Structure 1
Amino acid sequence: MNPLRSSQWFGKKGKDGFIYRAWMKNQGFPPDEFKDKPVIGICNTWSELTPCNAHFRELAESVKRGVLQAGGFPLEFPVMSLGETLIKPTAMLYRNLASMDVEESIRANPLDGVVLLCGCDKTTPSLVMGACSVDLPALVVSGGAMLTGKFRGRDIATSDVWRLTDGLRSAQVTEEEMNEAEAGMCRSRGHCAVMGTASSMASMVEALGLSLPENAAIPAADARRKVLAQLSGRRIVEMVREDLRLSQVLTREAFENAIRVNAAIGGSSNVVVHLLAIAGRIGVPLELADFDRLSQKIPLLANLQPSGQYYMEDLYYAGGLPAVMKELLPHLHTQALTVNGRTVAENVARFSSLDPDVIAPLDRPFNPLSGIIVLKGNLCEDGAVVKPSAASPHLLQHTGKAVVFENIDDYKARIDDPALVVDANSILVLKSVGPKGYPGMPEVGNMGLPKKLLAEGITDMVRISDGRMSGTAFGTVVLHVSPESAVGGTLALVREGDTIALDIPARTLNLLVSPEELAARRAAWTPAPAEYTRGYVKMYLDHVGQAHTGADFDFLVGGSGAAVLKDSH
């Protein structure tokens, strides 16, 4: 084993060593606890403001037991916690800030390895991004999904929020029913019970090899989640002794595996911006086009909401993510290394699908359409994404007139106006919700349909924006249009009544306006005045990249390693 990084603190002679050890002893730790033992940081995103992660204190205790059993010394530390359900204006605005917190907390402290406790949507990418920029031995323990919700004799989960809300707006659901559904939907600890962004990112860290097998799907309320946490505590100590670092696991092959797995599970479109950002931190070349190319031959195997019928709890009982990956082995890099020291093929060898209704075989998939399709055209020169498994077949090729909302406030003010000129063939266009425009690229791309169309029984329309949508959402929704409208992308030039042509099979999205007219509009376009002139949001606006690059800060791409350049005292 290489010399422990923590010995640069606790093994020092003289004044510095005295100070480091003395102040640890004030917590009641005897000196042999941190002498010649791997010091393991438990990076905890517990917060009562992040309901998905509110059980992480218990999970951390399980990790600690494992670390102690393996001969390590666990030290828990907090970092900024991003709760998608409460944070305004959007948790995505703070993903990069949280990643900085993680990176600097790991680098600055006497840690030899790290266990990342992740749950709610942005906690997973932010913790992994920060850890990548330091590149110490690290692994992920996810918090797990909540139990499937129950409401009036049927199963419900987060995807039903959109259905219930539309039902309330069209007078098909009452306020009393909404209140009852609230209590029945979130009936246990854990994150969203569908294949939303939280479950998708938990699946991504397992597919990337950053967690022990079965991490993605064990329900939060299941005791086996604590067992996995304890085993992860043991394993991180072994990783330190083996000097197995993130850069040895997060290879190009690992990212290709993750993209293909995301296609097979019907994972969130948000995975795109997060994997691009993680790849940028660890130095693996990855671009938007890879998501389309690598997904093309992968069918949808997991019959999970929002693209299917079942829930994360059902996925676990059917064999979990390893069973999905077992079916996918012909398409995966089977020799890719994972954090337990074994290859992908070794990890999934003992698994198989226990319920073909939930995890379909590769030769009889649940849906031949899957993955992320990347669109190109004059409306999205740098790309846009669409999730075909969540789209309506009759809208995959569609030409219609634009109904344009200049920003989210304009949308909220007019969407239910009886005078709004709109029909089922219209295309809803929302501007100024990209990384810089909102700011933070919120999950508003799956715009609710006009009330008068809901009353007619219309359930889907083509919707286009430079924002994101919740991984729990569905519909024929074009997202992440890049360049965004706030920086002068063509989306900024769309006007009411313009004709837009969407062809998902051909992977094109075009505004049918002449080049001369677009040039005239561009010459007349001016950016909106700055709303933020100080603080973190000002820094965000100055440095955030566009969606097709992962929306990371330009100065955070890459990493600084684990060395502390200036000593203390």
Structure 2
Amino acid sequence: MSKGLTNYGDRGFSLFLRKAFIKGAGYTDSALTRPVIGIVNTGSAYNPCHGNAPQLIEAVKRGIMLAGGLPMDFPTISIHESFSAPTSMYLRNLMSMDTEEMVRAQPMDAVVLIGGCDKTVPAQLMGAASAGIPAIQLVTGAMLTGSHRSERVGACTDCRRYWAYYRADQIDDQEIADVNNQLVASVGTCSVMGTASTMACIAEALGMMVPGGASAPAVTADRIRIAEQTGTLAVQMSKDRLTIDKVLTAEAFENAMRVLLAIGGSTNGIIHLTAIAGRMGFEVDLEALDRFGAETPVLVDLKPSGQHYMEDFHKAGGMITLLRELKPLLHLNAMTVTGRTLGEELDAASAPFKQDVVRPFNNPIYPQGGIAVLRGNLAPGGAIIKQSAAAPELMEHEGRAVVFEDAEDMVTRLDDPDLDVNADDVLVLKRIGPKGAPGMPEAGYIPIPMKLARAGVKDMVRISDGRMSGTAAGTIVLHVTPEAAVGGPLAYVQNGDRIRLSVKNREIALLVSAEELAERARVAPVVEPTADRGYRKLFLTTVTQADEGVDFDFLRAATMTGTVPRTK
């Protein structure tokens, strides 16, 4: 209770006053001598992904008290993907600042981070990394799956699939309303390998979570028991002074990148890992990550790359099963929040058993990592594609550009029956990057133009400087860097230009000469977006590009001390 005392110019009085007020809540002197464990409460009526937060907090408190600690829960902002305008990514850095500053401002010996929906877990890990105290992540867990006309469904890959059916006139108003009632069968995060599930798996791979804590569904006893264990472990971490820098090492980030590739994880995972690593002083080497992909196949058979759901992954043993399969590729000496190494945790885990969700290394669902890194004159700073969820026949493709200048232009023209577009064209959407939108929305999943959808077209090559949901699938090039809004080459693509995609060669090329692009830039120079006040001004002034995690430049570590993955 004596940590971080409010400054009244008299430390003794500051502690005296603090104790007087906290005793007003009924605490005894005995309670106030125990290790203080903060619990970040992100419950919100606007966040059904965190609908079980009250139960989790009670279980964490129980675990803390059983271990002799004093639990203190406190609120921070909560972000839900579907309830955040203009996009949840726009608010991720704000949530990370809220988390960091409240952890710094209030007395605690360790902190439990309760998050779930897409941007909350990375925001919390970013904030905790900067705050520097012992920290442990608890996720809210995935929702259960529902059933529509005897077909198992879950958010949100099936959301997109049924909406595509509806846009193509393959189902009617009544059926789309019926399926809407079944896609989200309980509180919790998306039941597929979207961004929320990806970040849960990554948090466990980083060593920041109770072993087995990534996969338990939100409304199960397993999830509550994990919460209790998390509270107990937080007390031990505080006693051992197991600070976050001892867990978030270069080895931990390399393990997490292996897992990202092996789970067919969300493309958003790269941006979030880059941001978390940046808080610890590490740069992410996309080329080295791509080389990892050549030797790290997709092993987890979950939508959108496969067929199963998160509850199936949990029944198959969750991350322990996957990590055991990846063991030859992992840094087994990486420290975890348990105080034991990853290798020690795997040795102590229950014996493997027969299951069909995590494939053996010699029988992968996809032979390479789920994500490939692209370069070329259209993306000098890099771009990515989720190759495990793309159409094989489009991975090597050249086509005519059909260009939308921004999201509003796309909404206005995409479904126009007179739009000049064919199935072998390349859809290009500009100005949905970090500054262009702002906030880099998940608009990179450009819908198939309605007249093509109704003609049976299921996929096209699509390119943008934005993101897409981890629940989405398609031949979609994302995170084109630099973005159009800051004058990247994407800004100067015109209708009718030829674009070549070669995933095999890791290339995304605009087949226009450098001289022509320079002339286009001279004739119509880009004016970067600005704002007059508030958070938007802060965002537009300081946000970095995708290759630096879309973090604020002043929040990254003052000195970059290393690169991950390390070039071998």
Q: TM-score, normalised by structure 1?
A: 0.95
> How far apart, in 2, do the equivalents of 1:288 and 1:5 lie?
44
> How far apart, in 1, do the equivalents of 2:106 and 2:81 lie?
28
Percent sequence identity over aligned pairs: 47
Secondary structure, counterpart of 1:76 in structure 2: strand
The match for 2:3 among 2, 6, 14 is 6
> How far apart, in 1, do the equivalents of 2:404 and 2:4 lie?
58
How far did 1:262 drift? Answer: 1.1
Amino acid at match of 1:254: A
> How far apart, in 2, do the equivalents of 1:227 and 1:210 lie?
17
Secondary structure, counterpart of 1:383 in structure 2: strand
Partner of 1:247: 245
The 5 Å alignment of 1:75-114 reads 75-114=72-111
How far did 1:532 drift? Answer: 2.8
Are residues 503 and 6 of structure 1, via their aligned partners in 2, closer, same or farther at CA, if it must alter by over 3 Å? Answer: same
> How far apart, in 2, do the equivalents of 1:121 and 1:13 lie?
41
How far did 1:369 drift? Answer: 3.2
> How far apart, in 2, do the equivalents of 1:193 and 1:232 lie?
22
Secondary structure, counterpart of 2:554 in structure 1: coil
The 5 Å alignment of 1:10-21 reads 14-21=12-19
> How far apart, in 2, do the equivalents of 1:127 and 1:545 lie?
19
Partner of 1:552: 551
How far did 1:293 drift? Answer: 2.2
> How far apart, in 2, do the equivalents of 1:14 and 1:129 lie?
33
Partner of 2:361: 362
- The answer to whether the Cα contact below 8 Å between 1:52 and 1:83 also exists between their aligned partners in 2 is yes
How far did 1:540 drift? Answer: 0.1
> How far apart, in 1, do the equivalents of 2:39 and 2:505 lie?
47
How far did 1:533 drift? Answer: 1.6
Partner of 1:375: 374
Partner of 2:289: 291
Partner of 1:387: 386
> How far apart, in 1, do the equivalents of 2:107 and 2:39 lie?
12
Amino acid at match of 2:125: V
Partner of 1:272: 270
The match for 2:157 among 143, 159, 162 is 159
Bigger mean CA offset, 343-352 vs 485-494: 343-352
The match for 1:146 among 143, 146, 155 is 143
Secondary structure, counterpart of 1:509 in structure 2: strand
Secondary structure, counterpart of 2:295 in structure 1: coil
Secondary structure, counterpart of 2:356 in structure 1: coil
Matched, 1:424 2:457: no
- The answer to whether the Cα contact below 8 Å between 1:401 and 1:426 also exists between their aligned partners in 2 is yes
Secondary structure, counterpart of 1:540 in structure 2: helix
Secondary structure, counterpart of 2:541 in structure 1: helix
How far did 1:411 drift? Answer: 0.6
The match for 1:223 among 221, 224, 227 is 221
- The answer to whether the Cα contact below 8 Å between 1:6 and 1:38 also exists between their aligned partners in 2 is no
- The answer to whether the Cα contact below 8 Å between 2:299 and 2:366 also exists between their aligned partners in 1 is yes
Partner of 1:340: 338
Bigger mean CA offset, 317-326 vs 276-285: 276-285
Partner of 1:566: none
How far did 1:55 drift? Answer: 1.3
- The answer to whether the Cα contact below 8 Å between 2:435 and 2:529 also exists between their aligned partners in 1 is no
- The answer to whether the Cα contact below 8 Å between 2:292 and 2:369 also exists between their aligned partners in 1 is no
Partner of 2:64: 67
Are residues 59 and 519 of structure 1, via their aligned partners in 2, closer, same or farther at CA, if it must alter by over 3 Å? Answer: same
Secondary structure, counterpart of 1:475 in structure 2: coil
Amino acid at match of 1:82: I
- The answer to whether the Cα contact below 8 Å between 2:530 and 2:541 also exists between their aligned partners in 1 is no
Secondary structure, counterpart of 2:555 in structure 1: coil
Amino acid at match of 1:470: S
The match for 2:255 among 241, 254, 257 is 257
Partner of 1:415: 414
> How far apart, in 1, do the equivalents of 2:529 and 2:352 lie?
53
> How far apart, in 2, do the equivalents of 1:478 and 1:512 lie?
16
Matched, 1:518 2:517: yes
Secondary structure, counterpart of 2:439 in structure 1: coil
Secondary structure, counterpart of 1:141 in structure 2: strand
> How far apart, in 2, do the equivalents of 1:177 and 1:223 lie?
33
Amino acid at match of 1:335: N
Are residues 330 and 283 of structure 1, via their aligned partners in 2, closer, same or farther at CA, if it must alter by over 3 Å? Answer: same
How far did 1:525 drift? Answer: 2.5
The 5 Å alignment of 1:161-176 reads 161-176=159-174
> How far apart, in 1, do the equivalents of 2:11 and 2:550 lie?
44
Give structure 1 stretches of 5+ with no counterpart: 561-569
How far did 1:31 drift? Answer: 1.8
Secondary structure, counterpart of 1:400 in structure 2: strand
Are residues 191 and 289 of structure 1, via their aligned partners in 2, closer, same or farther at CA, if it must alter by over 3 Å? Answer: same
Partner of 2:403: 404
Matched, 1:203 2:201: yes
Amino acid at match of 1:239: M
Partner of 2:180: 182
> How far apart, in 1, do the equivalents of 2:41 and 2:121 lie?
11
How far did 1:166 drift? Answer: 1.2
Amino acid at match of 1:432: R
> How far apart, in 2, do the equivalents of 1:50 and 1:341 lie?
33
The 5 Å alignment of 1:20-31 reads 20-31=18-29
Q: TM-score, normalised by structure 2?
A: 0.95
> How far apart, in 2, do the equivalents of 1:79 and 1:96 lie?
13
How far did 1:13 drift? Answer: 6.5
- The answer to whether the Cα contact below 8 Å between 1:399 and 1:500 also exists between their aligned partners in 2 is yes
Partner of 1:32: 30
Are residues 453 and 7 of structure 1, via their aligned partners in 2, closer, same or farther at CA, if it must alter by over 3 Å? Answer: closer
1:529-563 per-residue CA deviation (whole Å, 9 max, x = no partner) reads: 74632100111000000001101001100279xxx
How far did 1:346 drift? Answer: 2.0
- The answer to whether the Cα contact below 8 Å between 2:295 and 2:368 also exists between their aligned partners in 1 is no
How far did 1:478 drift? Answer: 0.3
- RMSD between aligned residues: 1.6
Bigger mean CA offset, 474-483 vs 155-164: 155-164
> How far apart, in 1, do the equivalents of 2:361 and 2:368 lie?
13
How far did 1:57 drift? Answer: 1.3
Partner of 1:507: 506
1:134-173 per-residue CA deviation (whole Å, 9 max, x = no partner) reads: 1100000000000112111011121011111111111111
How far did 1:291 drift? Answer: 2.5
The 5 Å alignment of 1:40-51 reads 40-51=37-48
Partner of 1:532: 531
> How far apart, in 1, do the equivalents of 2:2 and 2:314 lie?
38
> How far apart, in 1, do the equivalents of 2:452 and 2:351 lie?
44
How far did 1:376 drift? Answer: 0.5
Amino acid at match of 1:512: L
How far did 1:362 drift? Answer: 0.6
The match for 1:312 among 300, 310, 320 is 310
Partner of 1:237: 235
Matched, 1:473 2:472: yes
Amino acid at match of 1:345: G
Count of residues paired in the alignment: 555
> How far apart, in 2, do the equivalents of 1:98 and 1:89 lie?
15
1:315-371 per-residue CA deviation (whole Å, 9 max, x = no partner) reads: 000111110110000111111110001111222233565454211111111221333
Matched, 1:464 2:463: yes
> How far apart, in 1, do the equivalents of 2:417 and 2:466 lie?
26
- The answer to whether the Cα contact below 8 Å between 1:5 and 1:111 also exists between their aligned partners in 2 is no
